[in-house]
A and B are shown apart, each in its own frame.
Chain A
Amino acid sequence: MFWLTWRQHRAQMLVTASFLLALGALLLGSAIEAAVYAAAHAPPGCPGPSVACAEVGAGLSARYQAVYSLYGWMPLLAPALIGAFWGAPLLGREYERGTHLLAWTQSVSPARWLAVKLGVLGGAVALGGLALSAMATAWRASFPDSVAGTWFGNLGVFNMVGVVPAAWWAFAFATGAAAGAFLRRTLPAMAVTVAVVAAAVFGLFSLSDHYAEPARTVTTDRAAVFARDSRLLREAWVAPSGAETEAVPMTVCPSPPDAGRSGRNAEARERCLFQAGYRLAVYHHPPERFWRFQWIEAGILLAASAVLGAAAVARTLRR
């Protein structure tokens, strides 16, 4: 059975492994190049407040962004590909070619056939997701915090580090397997898988703000909250009475609207409001919630994977 699983799915395994290796080489090259650049250009005392330090920071940032603009697609692209090429053909191709009649009339029972395939391939997919996460983490850690200090506040980054990528890959694989079991055709199963994975990615992106009750910080210094890699949800004004309002009446601290992109008048009005006793209430998720959110998201995805996997098994074994 293990040989059969390898023989039937080695193309996907080899392509995925090559892809991970190529990506790893790119990230390693990027990290080394950035380290060489920093060593060559940064004067002693960096990171620090000097102009030279800021220039090196900008150079590193450009290097980081160049790779990130490509890498940032991974949370969507990688699961979609895994679902379409690992999951959908698993059963869809067997039904389409009629080979399920060959495979499931051998001495090994269809239940065992399916258990080995789902177990081995699902495990390999989860390991692949973990490898992707480990590489992203190592690469990002090679840049200074001023460039790549956000792990939690940015949803794109949050979804490419920790355990979440592995859960996404497993979920996509289970989606593909279930689509193949029900549609019994490879190509329609691939299409449905990509659609479901894309919908789930955007669905969970918007749902993730609700994984916990947001923290409420009342402050006059918004930048301090920003600087902490928090995930900002919304702001409100707190009147001196303690009541919260979305917008302060223009009778308090009147100010003409800003023309163009300058926020100078708005900033002046904020300072005026702070002096008048108003405070900002910032609703946010602090970065300490990183692992809590990681496990909540992974839990949702793994539960969905289990449901989809069970549906695929039930559909396949119902004869």
Chain B
Amino acid sequence: MIPALEATGLGRRYGRAWALRDCSLSVPAGRVAALVGPNGAGKTTLLHLAVGLLSPTAGSVRVFGETGRRDRVAFLAQDKPLYDGFTVAETLRFGRGLNPSWDDGFARERLAALGIPLRGKTGALSGGQRAQVALTVALAKRPRLLVLDEPLANLDPLARHAVMRGLMEAVAETGLSVLLSSHVVSDLEHTCDWLVVLNGGRVQVSGAVDDLLEGHRLLTGPAEEADAVAARLPVVARDRAGRRETLLARAGDPVLGPAWASAPVSLDDLVMAYLREPEAAALPRPALAR
């Protein structure tokens, strides 16, 4: 099956500094993929490369196996840019004029269901309504891949929930693939099923969330035995508290001594552990890529 997004050796340089380097990843179709990483990790650069706003300095990026298909990918930029002087109706007309695949009925129904009047100026909308209008413009284009840059930033919890639910409804209805960036992992816990961790311009983790959670354990035991365990298992991060040490290991459920407790990891634990250890990586081997 053709992946929704496939990057091969992708890199982008600004002057002499690489914003993104040697990035290879594959996000399968039909997934809601989360791109997480600290500020300045290259998230926005990767997204801009994916939607064609930037061209790569090295490597390539393909959406459903093709490059330069602007009609197949929609983008919701950070801060949800809209023309502030336009009414909502004019914003829809903008989308209709610039996209042959525009679904005007869908856009109007969606805004009506959200209770957003078409006559108001977009500049006068609340943050949540603005995000919904921007999302409507992106969805009404009927893309196969929707890319969102920090869609939940600057929104109150209620609006975050509403935007996420709207997104999930669209995914359920149309089988849309989604790639969204965020630096708040808790927002993504129950919505995203693919995780990409970007750190310092490199891909650290890329995989299905379920597989990643199953494939990692939090192991807690006596600090003096920790080195022996770490020698046997691929350990991502270690955290010593007094005489006990907690290891986050890339392993199923290993058989350890009775002094050791093994617990499942949360997505938050997993992301934080990798971000703290930029050298660690969990990338699917070719055989595992789905």
Q: A residues touching B (Cβ–Cβ < 8 Å)?
A: 1, 3-4, 7-8, 97-99, 101-109, 113, 319
Contacts and interface: CB of A to CB of B under 8 A. Distances in A.
A4 B97 CA distance: 8
Contacts of A107: 70-71, 98-101, 141
Q: By CB atoms of chain A within 10 A, which of B52, B55, B73, B98 has the most?
A: B98
Given A106-B99, A107-B101, 13 more contacts: A7-B86, A8-B83, A97-B81, A97-B84, A102-B137, A105-B53, A105-B74, A107-B70, A107-B98, A108-B98, A109-B70, A319-B53, A319-B54
B118 interface: no
10 contacts: A1-B98, A3-B97, A99-B81, A102-B83, A105-B51, A105-B73, A106-B98, A107-B99, A107-B141, A319-B52
Contacts of A98: 77-79, 81
B80 to A, nearest CB: 9
Contacts of B137: 102
Report the contact-size class of chain B (Cβ under 8 Å from the partner).
20 to 34
Contact of B75 (A7, A101, A108): A101
Q: By CB atoms of chain A within 10 A, which of B78, B83, B99 has the most?
A: B83
Contacts of B42: none
A106 to B, nearest CB: 4
A261 to B, nearest CB: 59
A77 to B, nearest CB: 27
Interface of B: 51-55, 70-71, 73-75, 77-79, 81-84, 86, 90, 93-95, 97-101, 134, 137, 141
A8 B84 CA distance: 11
A109 B68 CA distance: 9
Shortest 5 CB-CB distances between A and B: which pairs? A106-B98, A101-B77, A105-B75, A107-B71, A98-B81
Nearest to A106: B98
Contacts of B79: 98
Nearest to B138: A105
A7 B95 contact: no
B55 A319 contact: yes
Given A98-B77, A101-B75, A106 B141 contact: yes
A227 B61 CA distance: 72
A319 to B, nearest CB: 5
A8 B98 CA distance: 14
A265 to B, nearest CB: 69
Contacts of B86: 7
B94 A4 contact: yes
Nearest to B95: A106
Given A7-B86, A99-B81, A105 B93 contact: no
A104 B82 CA distance: 12
A216 to B, nearest CB: 57
B93 A102 contact: no
A98 B78 CA distance: 9
A53 B226 CA distance: 115
Contacts of B51: 105
Nearest to B96: A3
A90 to B, nearest CB: 14
A1 B97 CA distance: 6
Contacts of A101: 53, 75, 77, 81
A199 to B, nearest CB: 31
Contacts of A99: 81-83
Contacts of B70: 105-109
Contact of B77 (A4, A102, A113): A102
A28 B137 CA distance: 49
Q: By CB atoms of chain B within 10 A, which of A101, A103, A113 has the most?
A: A101
A105 B76 CA distance: 9
A47 to B, nearest CB: 55
Contacts of A7: 86, 90, 93-94
A319 B52 CA distance: 8
A106 B91 CA distance: 13
Nearest to B93: A3
B83 A105 contact: no
A102 B53 contact: no
A69 B232 CA distance: 92
